[in-house]
Amino acid sequence: MGTVIDLMHHHASVRRYRDDPVPRETIETIVGAAQQASTSSNLQMYSVVAVIDQEKRRHLANLCGRQEFIAEAPVFLVWCADLSRLDRVCDLRGYTQVTRYVENFLVAAIDAAIAAQTAALAAESLGLGICYVGAIRDDPEGIARLLRLPRLVFPIAGMTMGWPAVEPSSKPRLPLSSILRWEVYDRLAEDTDLLAYDRTMITSGIYKDRQVPLPGKREPLEDHGWMEHSARRVSQPTRTGLRKFLQAQGFELE
């Protein structure tokens, strides 16, 4: 039996699942474990919608960029930042909840993310596989309609869950020195670490048979690595309408 740290080091996203269903009791066990995660001031500002209905999962797959593995996974969890429940608590106690500041949304989003990752670890400890789905934010209005999300609830992340059809393989991560700083945010080894990691990702075959020109040049070509992949991703705007939807849901973000 491995340790929790061993389990964490073997994490990999799973996008191919067996047809076997995940029992409702198992889902409840996993979410119950996630409830024990850290939460700001014990406010528990998150909710999760578990979707097991096949037709609804297919609809969700279409809303999330037509990703078929969402429909094929037996369970799809939608993790939400949720201030709606506390609105009711305030009603019952004669208060008015303050929700208009960025901090309120951030705390709820962090609560949801911590709970989701705790659930992921719980699921993997039972032999299940998971994959996060950021595309849940592609069409938040459609998600809200389908799942009947009330005001002050926002879908942070989706998560497929099921029994892996194949053994997933983990991707190498950045060197620890790129993530862990001591005392201050120093950048002494940053370029060395980035170049070394880029080479690791290329030689691992993750970006196999892809080449790109050097920055600012047409020739010569170089291997397409993690830096090229990442720079392309972050240099393009994505989901630019989220602020408008957040405000419509009651998160004014002042």
Q: pLDDT (tens digit, 9 = 90+) per residue, 38-80?
A: 999 999 999 999 999 999 999 999 999 999 999 999 999 999 9
Closest C-alpha among 238, 77, 48 to residue 158: 77
For residue 251, tell me if it sits in a domain: no
Please give the average per-residue pLDDT across 13-23, as a whole number: 97
Note down the domain range covering 102.
4-169
**Which pLDDT does position 205 carry in this prediction?**
83
Taking the C-alpha atoms of residue 34 and residue 246, their distance in angstroms, rounded to an integer, is 25
pLDDT at 165 over 90: yes
For residue 193, tell me if it sits in a domain: yes
Taking the C-alpha atoms of residue 49 and residue 59, their distance in angstroms, rounded to an integer, is 15
Q: How many domains does the chain have?
A: 2
Taking the C-alpha atoms of residue 152 and residue 241, their distance in angstroms, rounded to an integer, is 17
Residues 110 and 228 in one domain: no
Taking the C-alpha atoms of residue 71 and residue 54, their distance in angstroms, rounded to an integer, is 7
Q: For residue 82, list its beta bridge partners.
A: 153
Taking the C-alpha atoms of residue 70 and residue 161, their distance in angstroms, rounded to an integer, is 9
- Report phi then psi at 116, rounded to 5: -60, -45
For residue 74, tell me if it sits in a domain: yes
Closest C-alpha among 251, 248, 60 to residue 143: 60
Single residue among 169, 196, 223 that ends a domain in this structure: 169
For residue 222, tell me if it sits in a domain: yes
For residue 155, tell me if it sits in a domain: yes
Indicate the DSSP class of residue 164: B
Dihedral (CA of 130, 136, 142, 144) sign: positive
Residues 40 and 163 in one domain: yes
Identify the three-state secondary structure at position 189: coil
For residue 215, tell me if it sits in a domain: yes
For the packed helices 140-147 and 54-63, what is the interaxial angle rounded to 10 degrees?
Answer: 160
**Which pLDDT does position 245 carry in this prediction?**
96
Confirm if 110 and 40 have CB atoms less than 8 A apart.
yes
Taking the C-alpha atoms of residue 254 and residue 33, their distance in angstroms, rounded to an integer, is 34
Instruction: Give the pLDDT band of residue 217 (cuts 50, 70, 90).
Output: low
Helix ranges (DSSP H) in 94-217 = 102-125, 140-147, 176-179, 190-203
Please give the average per-residue pLDDT across 147-158, as a whole number: 98
**Which pLDDT does position 204 carry in this prediction?**
87
Helix ranges (DSSP H) in 10-164 = 24-34, 54-63, 68-72, 84-93, 102-125, 140-147
Please give the average per-residue pLDDT across 205-214, as a whole number: 73
Single residue among 169, 189, 207 that ends a domain in this structure: 169
Question: What CATH number did the domain enclosing 125 receive?
Answer: 3.40.109.10
Residues 62 and 98 in one domain: yes
Residues 47 and 157 in one domain: yes
pTM: 0.92
pLDDT at 216 over 70: no
Dihedral (CA of 67, 163, 54, 122) sign: negative
pLDDT at 144 over 90: yes
pLDDT at 1 over 60: no
The two tokens of residue 126 are 């039972």
Instruction: Give the pLDDT band of residue 147 (cuts 50, 70, 90).
Output: very high
